[in-house]
Chain A
Amino acid sequence: MLDAPNHADNHHIPANVGWSAIIRKGQMMRIIDLEGQQAVDTLFYSAADTSERYSAQDTVLAQRSPYIAQGSVLLSNDGRPMMTVLRDPVGAHDTSAGACSCEANTVRFGHEVRHLHACRDNFVTEAAKWGMDKRDIVANVNFFMNVPIETNGALAISDGLSAPGNSLDLRAEMDVICLISNCPQINNPCNGFNPTPIDVLIWTPEEV
Chain B
Amino acid sequence: MLKGKFRFLLFPVIVIICILIIWLQPLRFGLDIRGGARIVIEAQDTEERKVDMLTMETLYRVIQKRLNPQGDLELIVQRKGMKQMIVEVPESQDVEGILKMISKQAVLKFVEAVAPPKPLDEMSEEEKKILLGGEGRIATYTTFDDEGVTKNTYTLFLKDVVLTGEDLKDVYLGHQEGMPVIGLKFTADGTKKFAEATERNIGNPIAIILDGKIISAPTVRSAILNGQAIIEGNFTQKELTELIIQLRSGSLPVPIEIVENKIVGPLLGQDSIQKGKFAGMLGLIGVTLFMFIFYRAAGVSAVVSLIMYLFIYLAIICLGKTTLTLSGVAGIVLSLGIAVDANIIIFEWLREELHMGKDVAFSVGDSFKRAFWTIFDSNLTTILAAGVLFFIGTGSVKGFAMTLCLGIMVSMFTALVLNRYILEGYVEMFKGKKFLV
- Specify whether A and B are partners: no
